[in-house]
Amino acid sequence: MLKQIAKSDGNNECLQKAASDAIAVQDAVNMIAVVGSLHRHLKAMRETGMSGDEINNHPVTICFASKIVSLCRMTADRENKAFGVIEKLAIGETIEYEVIPI
């Protein structure tokens, strides 16, 4: 498979702001604020003409995703446990889950 390379224009004000916020959220502890900021930037990036894999693999997206993973204290075990109970929750069953404080 050929490796695809994309370019992102650092002179684009939208992308500059997205990159700046991706750096700033690394100290955040408020998941709602992090996800809200990511959502705003993903919408703005789409408006610049980016889409699909280009957005999914953009450094801004990866940095925001990294912060979300960090806030969730993500490990493979925690991810597997979440997938193991999510269907129960979806059908109305009560579940229990571990909370790891920040």
Q: Based on C-alpha coordinates, what's the Rg of the chain?
A: 17
By three-state DSSP, how is residue 23 classified?
helix
Task: DSSP for 59-92, please give it.
Answer: HHHHHHHHHHHHHTT--HHHHHHHHHHHHHHHTT
Stretch 86-97: mean pLDDT: 96
pLDDT at position 40 is 98
Which amino acid belongs to residue 64?
F
Residue 12 has pLDDT above 90, yes or no: yes
- Band the pLDDT of 2: cuts 50, 70, 90: confident
Query: pLDDT tens digits for 32-43?
Result: 999 999 999 999
The reported pTM is: 0.91
Query: pLDDT tens digits for 48-90?
Result: 999 999 999 999 999 999 999 999 999 999 999 999 999 999 9
